Amino acid sequence: MNRLRIGLISVSDRASNGIYQDQGIPALQTWLSEALITPFDIETRLVPDEQPMIEQAICELVDELFCQLVLTTGGTGPARRDVTPDATLAVADREMPGFGEQMRQISLNFVPTAILSRQTGVIRKQSLILNLPGQPKSIKETLEGVKDEHGNVKVAGIFASVPYCLQLLEGPYVETRPEVVAAFRPKNARREINN
């Protein structure tokens, strides 16, 4: 069975220059270790807000290291230096606009400025690439969705759709811990996994 490989890219001028400690990659690593049952390997990159460097990092993770999932964090707003979505779209084969729409829908439950986000999702070759927000709290909310006080999902997080998308891209079968985020797939796409 091919093992799940995940690429994480944190986009930040200040963190890449050592001005402050990157928070995006640690937040993603922690969340993934809590959410995934499926074993996985991680490759990380910390890059400044420079479109050619972001493009290079995405291409390297997909084309050379064969990451089936690449998550970026940071650089998705309207500011001049926010070029992560531009870099992502520049190297994409196909756009997956539903991911960006859902991320904004989730964030609107917390802040009205969510409409300023340009986050997107794309496919390059057989890899899914998703632009996540930069703040650890927002990363978690975007991936898990909006839950009520009893832990019931009110607005689905984007990761609920990721395992089935990877399956459709002929990647590994990914299982999640339902208490963190329940992976959704049609009945005919479900497998019994023997541990």
pLDDT of residue 17: 77
> What is the token pair recorded at 181?
């985020």
Rounded Cα distance between 68 and 7, Å, is 8
Residue 194 has pLDDT above 60, yes or no: no
Strands (E), the chain: 4-11, 40-47, 69-73, 94-95, 121-124, 127-132, 145-147, 153-156
% residues pLDDT > 90 (the chain): 84
Digit-coded pLDDT (tens) for 109-148: 999 999 999 999 999 999 999 999 989 999 999 999 998 9
Predicted confidence band of residue 1 (pLDDT cuts 50, 70, 90): low
pLDDT of residue 16: 75
Predicted confidence band of residue 191 (pLDDT cuts 50, 70, 90): confident
Opening angle at CA 42, ends 34 and 131, nearest 5: 80
Q: What is the mean pLDDT of the chain?
A: 93
Digit-coded pLDDT (tens) for 2-14: 799 999 999 987 8
pLDDT of residue 193: 61
Single-letter residue type at 11: V
**Domain residues of the chain, as ranges?**
4-187
Q: Which fold has domain 4-187?
A: Molybdenum Cofactor Biosythetic Enzyme; Chain A (3.40.980)
